[in-house]
Amino acid sequence: MERWQNKVAVVTGASSGIGAAIAKDFVLAGLKVVALARRLQRMEEIKQSLPQDKQSQLSIMYCNVTDPANVDKVFDQIIDEFGGIDVLVNNAGCAKSGQLVDMDLKDITNILHTNVLGVVHCTQRAFKSMKERNFAGHVIIVNSIAGHTVLAGLPMSVPNVNIYSPTKFAVRAITEMYRQEFHGLGTKIKISSISPGFTDTEILYGDVRAALGDCMLDAHDVSNAVLYILSTPPHVQIHDLLIKPLGEGI
């Protein structure tokens, strides 16, 4: 991790769960972190939970990844204040229980904008910053096991993951597209995806959480894997890392 000391890492969806864990662990690993989310108070609490001598390494900014104008404003501010973006972790994501056959199109659109278009827009801005400075940065996407297997739902119930799995399958394809583009454009920028299994975060529905019991990852399990991805030498690129809790049934 020596090459990343005091480098600038942007983490989206950093107010809770995996994003919060990554933001904290990056700071403890020596990076300067810009945490992005809509819930500023939650991020302030995360900042205050860090050792006092590390708190200055975490900056927090409001960002709604579904709002292109807001994303551009925030990334412009980051570049002005920090000089560029060296690492991007696309973690922001959302889900809503319901069936694709009849759920509100507004909810479907919000999931698509968050899980897919938000990733694309943030990556465009980070990639531009890395390429302009000829910096071999790293873009990491937090995907999901749902991007490898369409979740069937609980036994004797109608599946309720609707558009979530399709958005995560799309992210798998996007990751490969970025790999080809980053190379084809003559950069040394890495792209990696991590696909966790069920993780103890706010995104889990109550019935799913009850069915899983203790068979879940902790957010820091995923964060530790992200640190491993980032720590690989320049010639090694982790393309897609699957991580599951022991005993997971899918």
Strand boundaries in 197-248, DSSP class E: 240-243
C-alpha to C-alpha distance for 212 and 215, rounded to whole angstroms? 5
Nearest Cα neighbor of 169 from 193, 190, 189, 202 is: 193
Question: Of 6, 2, 8, 11, whose CA–CA distance to 141 is shortest?
Answer: 11
Mark whether 164 is an active-site residue: yes
Q: In sequence order, what are the beta bridge partners of 142? A: 194
Structure tokens at 144: 């999901």
Kind plus residue range of the DSSP H or E element containing 139: strand 138-142
Which residue among the candidates 62, 164, 178, 205 is catalytic per the annotation? 164
Backbone phi and psi for residue 192, each to the nearest 5 degrees, phi listed first: -140, 150
Active site residues: 164
